Structure 1
Amino acid sequence: MRSLQFCYPILLHLFLFHLLSDFSSSLPLCRHDQSSALLHFKNSFSLNTEASEWCDIYRNSPYPKTASWQNGSDCCLWDGVTCDTISGNVIGLDLSCSWLQGTFHQNSTFFQLTHLQTLNLAFNDFNGSPMPSHFGGLQSLVYLNLSQSKFAGKIPSTISRLSKLVSLDLSWNYDDLRIKPIQWKKLVQNATNLRELVFSGIDMSSIKPSSLSFLMNLS
């Protein structure tokens, strides 16, 4: 009888532990502020199959990843979104080939996702938007791909703040996307972890050949 009395507290403890574990696992992981930022970003664009027309040639078949994003659902389960399993912060976003079309605003709520480590917006149509300087605020980025997204104008110097970058691809945007010597110098000095740099189609005519030796150190 004593042994049974001794077991009851243990069994009760185990029961409560599993009950709380099941309850916590059912809670939404996504942080509300980041879910809201993603939804605002989604709603700032229209969906057009022609925006990702080159994906059929170079990548997998395009489809609108953001179409399934719904208010009130866990954004960590949304297509293209990756969250940290402990903090719930959005750390990865792959919206490549997602039919996004429209102006990429400088003050987009997208830039509230300051914990992003990987970002892929390739093969969308941002209508010749200037590349926002706020990309430089995403300082946890390790991987950044903005290729074939129809950005235009000058590459902002704030890109050089992304000192953790291992891979950077800004290739094949509009023909006038360009980098000036001062931006190039800052990038070379600060992006010490960079191992892959793709600038095909970017106007680098003002960069002196001698300063391109940096590329030889990439592996």
Structure 2
Amino acid sequence: MAAAGSGSFQYGRLASKRLMMLVALLLVSCCLGHGFGDEDHVEVEGIGSSCMESERRALLAIKSDMYDPGDRFSSWTGKDCCGWRGVACDHTTGHVTKLDLRYHYTYHYTYDLWDLIYNEERIGVSKVNPSLQELKHLKHLDLSMNDFSGAPVPEMIASLVHLEYLNLSKAMFDGLIPPQFGNLSNLHYLDLQAWDYDLLHVDDLDWLPRIPSLKYLDMSSVNLSRATNWFYVINSISTLEVLHLKYADLPYVSSPLPPFNLTAIATLELSGNSNITSAMLRWLSNATSLEYLLLSRCGSPTIESVQIALGALSNLKGLDLSFNSLKGEILELLNNVSSRGLKQLDLSWNHLTGDVPGSLRDLEYLDLSGNSIVTLHILASLGNLTNLQHLDLQNNLISGEIPPTVGNFVQLKYLDLSGNSIVTLHILASLGNLTNLQHLDLQNNLISGEIPLT
């Protein structure tokens, strides 16, 4: 009896173990989405990431309307869409959170209409498939640099309310930027740069303050001429760190201006807008966090108004004042620069004369082309700028011989002295120490003589 009792006990333990294993298998099946109604979830054997089947199908529908030169979507095979190029998923839920379909144009860093019409590598037309709105958990969407051939900006993007990053730049959309984009209240990054001026436009910017944590905004080449309150709207977004409004046809802003509120601004580009007033430049003197200020082609600001702004911008690293018809001495313009960390300076195509302050010792990029500089003595005044890598003095009125101090520019890689009145090839002997020089342009001078051996 004892033996029989022992066997019965062993059988009971074995049955109990089988029951526990069955329960465990059922629990695993539940977690994997088999047998409990979650047939949308697919786990790929041997791979940690997973993919929602409905979202995989949505991605394939999106792909079907995108131009593909042959290898763009080569990785978009199999069940695991989370491993596809340009796609990323939440590791916990498996939902697609990132879709990067930026077209990587290889001929130029950017392209323009001329490239698209005449370049052999012209990209094909794409469409935004409605299945995009099925990716409801997207946080990152990039459709930039594609050719959507004048299609309207897709209003359905406004339904992707979890978006934190949206890039539609230079994607050849046309028409009104939907004010429904104000629903994207989680955005930190918004790039709507148009591929050509006056195709994209807004009726107003009243929707923009509904995105309270916006840090990056680019609406360059978007027609903002109807947004008469643009200045007040932009100023209300205190989180902005980077703002690009190049060639946006910004309306005139009358004084008095509101108190300065862009306390986090680090990069500001207003180039190509003729209504940048002296009052606005004085207002910018409050932007003490500013590192890059780009004000090319902004009409004819006075040296005095620029001086006031520059005197307070102690963190400035890059300054572009090109094509502004500024008149006067370079020293007069820059002596008030409080930032000694300035690395990039573009004063090209103005009416400036004279020398550059030797105190700007961190300068790496200097463009003074197209001014009224008349003597190569300017190179002596630059003798302390030993960090210079790019120096452009083309199309001035420079004559004379290069001074020996040019040999101090040991970091120099780019030197353009074309379109001047330099008359002697002794210039080449003066350049002998520039061992890092990669680009030298002496075209359209009056040079004559023999090339020196040194």
Q: What interval of TM-score do these two structures reach, taking the shorter chain for normalisation?
A: 0.7 to 0.9
Residue matched to 1:164: 186
- Say whether the 8 Å CA contact 1:128–1:174 is kept in structure 2: no
Taking a change above 3 Å as real, the CA distance of residues 114 and 101 of structure 1, as seen in their structure-2 partners, is farther
Larger relative helix fraction: 1
Residue matched to 1:153: 175
Taking a change above 3 Å as real, the CA distance of residues 201 and 24 of structure 1, as seen in their structure-2 partners, is closer
Residue matched to 2:165: 143
Taking a change above 3 Å as real, the CA distance of residues 93 and 47 of structure 1, as seen in their structure-2 partners, is same
Taking a change above 3 Å as real, the CA distance of residues 39 and 78 of structure 1, as seen in their structure-2 partners, is same
Q: Unpaired runs of 5+ in structure 2?
A: 1-16, 29-42, 106-122, 242-454
Q: How does 1:59-98 map to 2 (within 5 A)?
A: 64-70=71-77, 72-97=78-103
Q: Please give the per-residue CA displacement for 1:19-59, whole angstroms capped at 9, x wherever unaligned.
A: x7xx98636711000000000110113325xxxxxxxxxxx
Taking a change above 3 Å as real, the CA distance of residues 130 and 26 of structure 1, as seen in their structure-2 partners, is same
Q: Please give the per-residue CA displacement for 1:134-166, whole angstroms capped at 9, x wherever unaligned.
A: 110000000111111111100011111000001
TM-score by length of 1: 0.74
1:111 aligns to 2:118 (yes or no):
no
Give the length in aligned residue pairs.
187
Instruction: Tell me which of 198, 205, 222 is aligned to 1:202.
Output: 222
Q: Unpaired runs of 5+ in structure 1?
A: 1-8, 49-62
Question: Whose relative contact order is higher, 1 or 2, with alpha carbons under 8 Å and at least 6 apart?
Answer: 1
Q: Secondary structure of the residue that 1:40 maps to in structure 2?
A: helix
1:180 aligns to 2:186 (yes or no):
no
1:128 aligns to 2:150 (yes or no):
yes
In 1, the alpha carbon distance for the partners of 2:238 and 2:71 equals 38
Q: Secondary structure of the residue that 1:67 maps to in structure 2?
A: coil
- Say whether the 8 Å CA contact 1:123–1:148 is kept in structure 2: yes
- Say whether the 8 Å CA contact 2:193–2:221 is kept in structure 1: yes
In 2, the alpha carbon distance for the partners of 1:193 and 1:217 equals 6
In 1, the alpha carbon distance for the partners of 2:212 and 2:239 equals 10
Percent identity, please.
31
* Segments ≥4 residues shifted beyond 6 Å: none
Q: State the AA in 1 paired with 2:60.
A: L
Q: Please give the per-residue CA displacement for 1:36-87, whole angstroms capped at 9, x wherever unaligned.
A: 0000110113325xxxxxxxxxxxxxx85323312x4310010000001111
Instruction: Tell me which of 240, 245, 249 is aligned to 1:218.
Output: 240
Taking a change above 3 Å as real, the CA distance of residues 215 and 67 of structure 1, as seen in their structure-2 partners, is same
Q: Secondary structure of the residue that 1:168 maps to in structure 2?
A: strand
- Say whether the 8 Å CA contact 1:64–1:98 is kept in structure 2: no
Displacement of 1:187 in angstroms is: 1.6
Residue matched to 2:213: 193
- Say whether the 8 Å CA contact 1:173–1:201 is kept in structure 2: yes
In 1, the alpha carbon distance for the partners of 2:44 and 2:61 equals 28
TM-score by length of 2: 0.37
Displacement of 1:113 in angstroms is: 0.3
- Say whether the 8 Å CA contact 1:83–1:92 is kept in structure 2: yes
Residue matched to 2:67: 46
Q: Secondary structure of the residue that 1:159 maps to in structure 2?
A: helix
User: How big is the alpha-carbon RMSD for the aligned residues of Structure 1 and Structure 2?
Assistant: 3.0
